[in-house]
Amino acid sequence: MNTVYYHECASPIGTLLLVSNGKALTGLYMVDHQDGPQPRADWQRDERKFGVVCDELAAYFGGALHDFSVALEPHGTAFQKQVWNELRRIPYGETISYGELARRIGQPGASRAVGRANGQNPISIIIPCHRVIGADGTLTGYGGGLDRKQRLLELERAPLYSRT
């Protein structure tokens, strides 16, 4: 059985739960994240496994880092992974709509499915699901809460809507 490691890291948007398989980051959640996990008894707390992640998050929140380099291993379906990979292509400081995200993965009629996959993203912030907004430019669903989504977009100085 593979060991699951975790660490809770302070951030300007609240405590973040980091989860790893020892080789790559498998989860990043706000501790009060909608549908987010809670550390289990069989998980091992180990701050040392998360030094690079915490350093990169501190640089991101400080405005000095736009692209993360930590190894990621999100668990999901092939479709979810396709959506999450496309999320990583949204440039820092930009936003797109769910419809645009669906178009970018070659499934223009799948904006609702894309929205569900976006909402199931297990690695918040680094896989920037906060950069996806409604077609009318409004902020829509975010597991960490719309106030955090707004704060992340403000941090990146993103307009509320920059592309369709």
Q: Which stretches within the chain are classed as H helix? A: 51-61, 78-87, 98-104, 111-119, 146-155
With beta carbons less than 8 A apart as the criterion, state whether 127 and 100 touch: no
Catalytic residue flag (residue 129): yes
User: Which residues on adjacent β-strands are paired with residue 45?
Assistant: 6
Rounded Cα distance between 52 and 99, Å, is 34
User: Which residues on adjacent β-strands are paired with residue 129?
Assistant: none
Given the residues 19, 114, 129, 155, the one annotated as active site: 129
> Which active-site residues does the annotation give?
129
